[in-house]
Amino acid sequence: MRPFPIRSAKNVLSLAGMAVILAAVVVGCSRGPQFKESRAPWRSIAERNCLKAGRVTPSAYVEPQQRSRNGACGADRPFKVSAASGGTVGLSPAATLNCPMIPAFDRWLNETVQPMAQALFGTPVLEMTVAASYGCRTRNNKSGARLSEHSFANAIDISSFTLADGRTVTVKDGWRSSGSDAIFLRTVHGDACKEFTTVIGPDGDRHHQDHFHLDLARHNKDGSYHYCE
C-alpha cells in the first residue's frame, strides 16, 4: 500500500488560510457591492404608506417582486413595471421601481407628456426607453460618492419617447434642436419638477446628456425641496 503523504503543519495552515480567503471572496461576490452608507428610515415609511393607501394596483404590467435588499440598497416591496398609464405606454426595458415612484411617473405621463405629444405631434407616446432604473451603485458611479437613488428603486432614467406614428424623440438629439422636439423635451422636463424632487437633464451636467433622471429623493427633512436642472 502506498503511504499517505505527510504534510507539514505549515503547509496545512497555508492551505487552510487560502480556503478562508477564497470563501470570503466568493461570499463577497455573491452579495454584490458593499457600501457603508446606512438606509434612511423615511424610505421604508414612504413605501409602507404608498402600499397602505393602495396607490399601486398590481397587474400583468406592474408585477410585485420579492423583497430586494443588499445592505442599504434595494426596496422593501419593489415592482417590475413593463408599461405605465394603465398599460398604455410601454417601458423598454421594464423598470424596477418602488411604490411611490409609480404613481408619480403616471401623473407626469398623463398630465404632461401625453398632452404635449398630442399638442405638438398630433399623436400620443406609445413607448419610452428606460436608460436605467434599479441598480446598487453610487451617484454617477463615482467612487466614494453617496448612493444613487437608483440604489433604492427610487429613480428612473428616460432617454427617448416613441410616438404612436413610429417617430422617436430622443433626449440626446432633440434637446438642443429647433422645433417641436426641443419644445416637447424642455416642457416635459420642466413639468417633471412638479412630480419629482430631482430632475436632471442635459443642462444639468455631463452625465445626463442623453437622458432625463427623475427621482423622489428627500433633499431636506420634509422632502419639500426640489432640485431641477
pLDDT tens digit sequence for 44-97: 999 999 999 999 999 999 999 987 667 789 999 999 999 999 999 999 999 999
Type of residue at 2 = R
21 pLDDT higher than 50: no
Question: How much is the pTM?
Answer: 0.83
229 pLDDT higher than 70: yes
Instruction: Describe the crossing of helices 180-192 and 114-121 by its angle, rounded to 10 degrees.
Output: 160
b/e map 185-200, b = 16+ CB within 10 Å = bbbbbebbbebbbbbb
Binned at pLDDT 50, 70 and 90, residue 37 comes out as confident
Backbone angles phi, psi at 195, to 5 degrees: -105, -35
What's the pLDDT at 160? 98
Residue 66 three-state SS: coil
Mean pLDDT of the region 121-137: 97
Is the pLDDT higher at 38 or at 179? Answer: 179
CB 164 within 8 A of CB 124: yes
Q: Write the CB contacts of 20 (distance below 8 Å, at least 6 apart in sequence).
A: none
169 pLDDT higher than 90: yes
Reading the block at residue 99, the C-alpha cell is 411604490
Provide the β-strand partners of residue 227.
198
Q: Alpha-carbon distance 175 to 161, whole Å?
A: 12
Backbone angles phi, psi at 210, to 5 degrees: -125, 15
Query: Rounded to an integer, what is the distance from CA 206 to the centroid of its chain?
Result: 19
Binned at pLDDT 50, 70 and 90, residue 10 comes out as very low
What's the pLDDT at 78? 96
Question: CA quadruple 214, 219, 222, 225: dihedral positive or negative?
Answer: negative
* Rounded percentage of the chain residues whose pLDDT exceeds 90: 73
133 pLDDT higher than 70: yes
> Domain limits of the chain?
44-228
Greatest alpha-carbon span in the chain: 90
